[in-house]
Amino acid sequence: MLEVNPGLEAKTLFGHLQEKYLGHYQDGQLRTLQRHVKIWRALAGPPKEVFFAQEHKPGQLCQSDFTSMNDLKITVGGAAFEHLIYHFVLP
């Protein structure tokens, strides 16, 4: 499998190709390689971070959740204490 170096620039790659294949690649072809590398990175490069901006309006929204605590086997006075924890948050 080919190891990807995200910091490798097309200009560096082009210089390597010019050294390896003397006289085969002309300086005017650099920009074409840069465009192809840019497209390749967009399609096959590392994944981009996805970000969804949120607008919080104080007092209009809340989040709540119940969590069962029975798996913890808590006892009170020797008797099983079956209970839920309620969590409420205002963003």
Convert the pLDDT of each residue in 14-43 to its tens digit.
999 999 999 999 999 999 999 999 998 888
pTM attached to this predicted model? 0.48
pLDDT band at 3 (very low <50, low <70, confident <90, very high): low
pLDDT of residue 82 exceeding 80:
yes
Q: Is residue 58 part of a domain?
A: no
User: Is 26 within a domain?
Assistant: yes
Assess if residue 31 is contained within a domain.
yes
Residue matched to tokens 């924890």: 85
Secondary structure element (H or E) that encloses residue 87, with its range: strand 84-89
* pLDDT beyond 70 at 60: yes
Q: How many domains does the chain have?
A: 1
CA 27 to chain centre: 36
Cα–Cα distance for residue pair 13/29, rounded to 1 Å: 12
Q: Is residue 49 part of a domain?
A: no
Q: What is the mean pLDDT of the chain?
A: 88
